[in-house]
Amino acid sequence: MQPFLEFQSVTKRFNRVDALRDISFSIERGRVLALLGPNGAGKSTLFGCFLGITIPTGGKILLNGKMIADADRAAIGYVAERVALYPQRTVIENADFFTRLKGHSSHEAEEQLKRVGMSGARDRKIRQLSKGMLQRLGLAIALCGQPEILVLDEPFNGLDPALLDVLQGILREENERGATLLISTHTMSAVEPLATDAAILLRGKLAAFGALEKLRAENNSADSLEDIYYQIARGQYVTEEMFA
């Protein structure tokens, strides 16, 4: 049986720097992947390759056994680390534009704004929003059209505990609906309750990948995702980077 999403020897080179080196792994539909690694390890670059933002130097990314194409990405929801929208436009105009660009109705945008608690700010300009509100709006746009895959780049950064709780709840609901989640984060405690799998990137290389139970077993029965990460990172002699 072919995997749902497969990265085959993906590499990315920026001038003389190898940002990604021969990354290969696959995940099944409905799983939640926590992508971990220090700053500059290549997490965002890997997501960028998957989303068509970054052009891989080599390798393949397969979705349902076929090379991923632009049209396939309409079924992907993406929340960037720094949510960027059209500042001169309102919340609803931004949500509506990006929702319709994916082929879904304006009604969908309204619904998702309500879901993330942003419908009260629907007529506010983007430049008037706080970071937390911007993050919620980014999530609402990503959720439009019930995406098959949700890609979240550092979604827990700068969130207060209440908002973190809301975000975790929404992500859990999406996963229960059948969506596959790819989450890159430094906040391992926040992703741990959701994650079924973890991938650890160190200096652009895949240092570890697998189901959490398997990784726990392989790493002296580590108690938490954080323990697994530190054990693997120490083993790879990159402790300096690890604390960066």
Partner 1 sequence: MTTDSITVISANVATSKARAELANRKSKISGWNQIALIAAKEFGDRFRSGWVVACIFVWLGAIALTSFFGLIQIGQIGAQGYERTVISLLNLVQYLVPLLGLLLGHDLIVSENEERTLRLALAGGVGRLRFLAGKFLGGCLALATPLVSGFVIAGTVVGLSAKDSGVAPFLRLAISGLVLGILFLAIGLAISTFSRTRVQALVAALLAWCLVVFVFDLVALGIMISTRAPAAAQEIEVLCDTTHINSAADIHSDFDSATETQSRSGQAPENPSIGWLAANPVDLFRAINLSGQTELDVPWPVTFAATAFWLAFPLAAGFWKLRRTDL
Residues engaged in binding partner 1 (CB under 8 A): 14, 29-30, 48, 51-55, 64, 70-76, 78, 80, 82, 84-89, 97-98, 100-104, 141, 145-146, 148, 151, 177-179
CB of 180 to partner 1, least distance (A): 10
Nearer to partner 1, 37 or 56 (CB): 56
User: φ, ψ for residue 152 (rounded to 5)?
Assistant: -125, 120
Q: How far is the CB of 82 from partner 1 (least distance, A)?
A: 7
Q: What is the DSSP string of 32-76?
A: EEEEE--TTSSHHHHHHHHHTSS--SEEEEEETTEE--GGGGGGE
Cβ 84 to partner 1 shortest distance, Å: 4
- Report the nearest approach of partner 1 to the CB of residue 175 (Å): 11
Q: Strands 205-211 and 149-153: what pairing? A: unpaired
Nearer to partner 1, 78 or 229 (CB): 78
Q: Which is nearer to partner 1, 110 or 148 (CB)?
A: 148
Q: Decide whether 47 or 229 has the Cβ nearer to partner 1.
A: 47
- Least separation in angstroms between residue 56's CB and partner 1 is 10
Q: Find the shortest distance in angstroms from Cβ 238 to partner 1.
A: 25
CB atoms within 10 A of CB 239: 12
Residue from 41, 45, 55, 8 nearest 27 by CA: 8
Measured from the CB atom, the residue of 48 and 216 that comes closer to partner 1 is 48
Pick from 21, 61, 47: nearest CA to 185 = 47
CB closer to partner 1 out of 42 and 145 = 145
Strand 205-211 versus strand 58-63 pairing type: unpaired
Assigned token pair, 178: 């059948």
For β-strands 32-36 and 58-63, DSSP reports them as unpaired
> What are the residue ranges of helices labelled H in the chain?
43-51, 91-101, 106-115, 131-143, 161-177, 188-191, 212-218, 225-235, 239-242
